[in-house]
Amino acid sequence: VENISFFVFLTLNIVNIQINITAGQNVTLPCRAPNIDSNSKAVVEWSRADLGKDYVLLYRDEQPDPEEQHPSFKNRVDLQDREMKDGDVSLILKDVTTTDAGIYECRVFSRGGNRRKRANLKTDPISIINLSVMIFSLLTFFTVFFHYILYIFSFFYYLLLYCTAE
């Protein structure tokens, strides 16, 4: 009698992305789960550690589940593609505010027949997004700065013209 042992090593490629956005805009947080398709009973969980037990978005039974969703995300988030074509489970976050800044994690689970609680859904995230939210963009800053410099230049130019005219 021989004892044969098999070891399976799975490589998990975690995508880590930095996104910078201006408050008031919509943003897509990318996440791709290559092993799911539109026919699977997948559960998609978007979370942020600082929210405690509340979700950013929990998508199961082919619809968002608002039961444990954090109040600040209600009516502001959805999957980019609810059919999850090509494993796309990216999150759309609408009307971003500075309180939306943080580290977002995307997880995807295969479901059995019964509804599972969060405690049973522990896996590593497949995508980690660090979202930074700015009050205004650098473009806005440089536009305001340029107009300020132009205003000062114009003031001194007219002052010079006024002084030389007398």
Give the number of other Cβ atoms within 10 Å of residue 26's Cβ.
11
Q: Is pLDDT above 50 for 3?
A: no
For residue 120, give Cα distances in angstroms to 33, 86, 96, 128, 145. Answer: 19, 26, 31, 20, 53
Please report, as a single letter, which amino acid is at residue 44: V
Instruction: Return the biggest CA–CA distance within the chain.
Output: 113
Per the DSSP assignment, residues forming a β-bridge with 55 are 69
pLDDT in tens, 25-80: 999 999 998 777 656 678 999 999 899 899 999 998 888 999 989 999 999 999 99
pLDDT in tens, 107-139: 998 765 444 444 445 678 999 999 999 887 666
pLDDT in tens, 75-102: 999 999 988 888 899 999 999 999 999 9
The b/e string for 95-124 (b: 16+ C-beta within 10 A; e otherwise) is ebeeebbeebbbbbbeeeeeeeeeeeeeee
Q: What is the dihedral of CA 13, 19, 24, 25, to 10 degrees?
A: -70
Please report, as a single letter, which amino acid is at residue 66: P
Do residues 34 and 87 touch, judged by C-beta distance below 8 A?
yes
Which of 77-81, 148-152, 158-162 has the highest average model confidence (pLDDT)?
77-81
Taken in order 126, 132, 133, 138, the sign of the CA dihedral is: negative
